[in-house]
Structure 1
Amino acid sequence: MPSGLAALLDDVAGITRLAAASLDDVGAAASRAGTKAVGVVIDDTAVTPRYVTGLSPARELPIIGKIALGSLRNKLLILLPLALVLSAFAPWALTPLLMIGGAYLCFEGVEKLVEAFGGHHATEEAAEGATTPEALEQQKVSGAVRTDFILSAEIMAIALAEVSGSGIFAQAVALAIVAVAITVGVYGLVGLIVKLDDIGLHLAGKDSAAVQAIGRGMVKAMPVIMSTLAAIGTAAMIWVGGGILVHGMAGLGFAAPEHVVHHAAETVAGAVPALHGVLAWIVTAIGSAIVGLVAGGLIVAILHKVKRKPH
């Protein structure tokens, strides 16, 4: 009996050590995957604040909360199971699906540019279709969650590529960790950005003249910050979408655009070794944006022509 109990305890200890090692592997994989997705996270953070522009300040955080919940649903209930199924049964389908999402981002970004330079803005169009503030808010949330779905899909795809060599359980746990951590980080930062004016008002009411000056400066800077973020968000849609298309074409055997962008980035970055990483990123983003502008412009032109076509 004692020897049997000792053997059982040894087995339990061995299983415990194995489980701990597996969790360590999952944590490391999730960390690597999250690091790889940082570029898309920046884009997601830039895109989201424009969806609360022009709405009541009292509704900003509740709207961001709704978008964050929608983002979690996108990642955990749709994209995570889909990623696991594709990884197991149809890994070839991942690239075409990502390219469809990239094309949608290019289209939406170029559509925003057309609206901005054409004098017809999306907020006005949304207001025309919404009869109540609640309906307008729901339109904003739905639009943000749709855009988030594309960005989240790329985040999850990047994460999946990083953990593809692991077992199905390890993949699921790593993807779930990345999904939750990135969502909390992105929408926490977005919430802070859109409430900077309230923080500034609070500081402006303090006794210290220096603190008051900082608070007033934050309030005055807020419109500029929001308009800048809106512009960055539109640009992010185009360059992220273009980047997805460039990488997707390379994955499907048409690598010329990726080679051109990479060669340009290395040439420019090589001229200033001290800024190699920064310059390579900038040139790559510009190259991706050019592809995104062309792709988005073609889609916008086709859709506008179809809309004008008499029935």
Structure 2
Amino acid sequence: MPSGLVALLDDVAAIARASAASLDDISVAAKASAASLDDIGVAASRAGAKTAGVVIDDAAVTPRYVTGFDPARELPMIARIARGSIFNKLVILLPAAVLLGQFAPFLIPYILIVGGLFLCYEAAEKVLEWFHVDETNVHETPAIVEGGEREDDMVSGAIRTDLILSAEIMAIALSEVTDQVWWTQALILALIGLVITAVVYGAVALIVKMDDVGLHLAKTREGGMAAFGRGLVGFMPKLLAFISVVGTLAMAWVGGGLLVHNIAAIGWHGPEHWIEAVAHPVAGAMPAGLHGFMDWLVFAILSGLGGVAIGAVIAPIVHRYMPHGEAH
């Protein structure tokens, strides 16, 4: 075989080997990227689960901002609030959270303590209203009575409240991913922010419009469907009340837990040890399969009760020194 052809075949073989090696490298890189995406997904799920209490609170609080308006304006208002929520999370809070995680992670426990105090105050305020101890926010005039110009004010108020709750969500999530590099933290927080916004405001839209669906069925259908529509109209106020109760309990649990865990993180372990001293014996008295659940449940109940007690001290102070409505 001519030497030139041999050399050409050698070159072709070398190119083929190099291409195979490149494909192997690409495959390894793709697998690494997939693993990284899996890790990000797992970390986002873990961090997002920690924010459940605040998410429930967010879903419970938002419907009151669109109550009393023309039904045709409810979905547009929710859409405006959702856009404001995304802006809060991705434009304001995400860069601040990443910078905090990179340059001042030691501040995270203190920020979470402040957030815990706010949630305890919110929970205690609701509990005090239930027992008619403090009814500062009970006698609010429905928005429809005050005129259509109230829409912008209510949307702005909802977005301000969302900023506070979103800050809690981002801070809690950040505390779970401080071991990640900055860009991974950013991706995880962005993912959590987008998913939570979609879930919360999708649920709010569904809740707010279900009574309209029921009313439509009651007026336009007959027999069973009409009865179902009437039942739906009657059920929605009960559902909203239930969500409000669940949201309040979640606020107390999350707020109290934030205080207990983060006070321990800055060096005071007393409250955490006291709760554990009660929780562990109670859990130990249960069947083996229930130890973990009961330990968590007792810890959640006691930290929630402690949170409500602390919030009950804060609420009258806030109401005294802040004009009505500014506390929210």
TM-score (norm 2): 0.76
Q: 2:87 corresponds to which letter in structure 1?
A: R
- Residue equivalent to 2:100: 86
Aligned partner of 2:122 among 86, 99, 108: 108
Asked if the contact 2:56–2:247 (Cα under 8 Å) also holds between the matched residues in 1, the reply is no
Higher share in helix: 1
CA distance in 2, matches of 1:303, 1:159: 28
Task: Report whether the alignment pairs 1:247 with 2:261.
Answer: yes
Q: 1:69 to 1:288 in 2, by over 3 A?
A: farther
- Residue equivalent to 2:182: 168
Asked if the contact 2:112–2:172 (Cα under 8 Å) also holds between the matched residues in 1, the reply is no
Q: 1:45 to 1:284 in 2, by over 3 A?
A: farther
Q: Alignment partner of 1:184: what SS?
A: helix
Aligned partner of 2:315 among 296, 300, 303: 300
Asked if the contact 2:90–2:193 (Cα under 8 Å) also holds between the matched residues in 1, the reply is yes
- Give unmatched runs, 5+ long, in structure 2: 1-10, 324-328
Asked if the contact 2:53–2:247 (Cα under 8 Å) also holds between the matched residues in 1, the reply is no
Deviation of 1:91 (Å):
0.5
Q: For each residue in 1:106-126, what CA deviation from the matched residue of structure 2 results, as whole angstroms up to 9, or x when unmatched?
A: 333434555662675537457
Aligned partner of 2:233 among 205, 209, 219: 219
CA distance in 2, matches of 1:280, 1:211: 46
Q: Percent identity?
A: 49
Q: For each residue in 1:206-226, what CA deviation from the matched residue of structure 2 results, as whole angstroms up to 9, or x when unmatched?
A: 756333322221111122222
Task: Report whether the alignment pairs 1:38 with 2:49.
Answer: no
Deviation of 1:81 (Å):
1.4
- Residue equivalent to 1:199: 213
CA distance in 1, matches of 2:76, 2:257: 32
Q: 2:186 corresponds to which letter in structure 1?
A: A
Deviation of 1:26 (Å):
2.1
Deviation of 1:47 (Å):
3.1
Q: 1:288 to 1:252 in 2, by over 3 A?
A: same
Q: 1:302 corresponds to which letter in structure 2?
A: I
Q: How many residues align?
A: 306
Q: Alignment partner of 1:102: what SS?
A: helix
Q: For each residue in 1:109-166, what CA deviation from the matched residue of structure 2 results, as whole angstroms up to 9, or x when unmatched?
A: 43455566267553745779x964333x344333433333343333323333333333
Q: 2:317 corresponds to which letter in structure 1?
A: I
Q: 1:191 to 1:165 in 2, by over 3 A?
A: same
- Residue equivalent to 1:66: 80
Q: Alignment partner of 1:165: what SS?
A: coil
Task: Report whether the alignment pairs 1:155 with 2:169.
Answer: yes
Task: Report whether the alignment pairs 1:10 with 2:25.
Answer: no
CA distance in 2, matches of 1:288, 1:81: 31
Task: Report whether the alignment pairs 1:48 with 2:65.
Answer: no
Q: 2:278 corresponds to which letter in structure 1?
A: A
Asked if the contact 2:98–2:185 (Cα under 8 Å) also holds between the matched residues in 1, the reply is yes
Asked if the contact 1:112–1:122 (Cα under 8 Å) also holds between the matched residues in 2, the reply is no
Asked if the contact 1:44–1:151 (Cα under 8 Å) also holds between the matched residues in 2, the reply is yes
Q: 2:49 corresponds to which letter in structure 1?
A: T
- Give unmatched runs, 5+ long, in structure 1: none
TM-score (norm 1): 0.80
Asked if the contact 2:47–2:172 (Cα under 8 Å) also holds between the matched residues in 1, the reply is yes
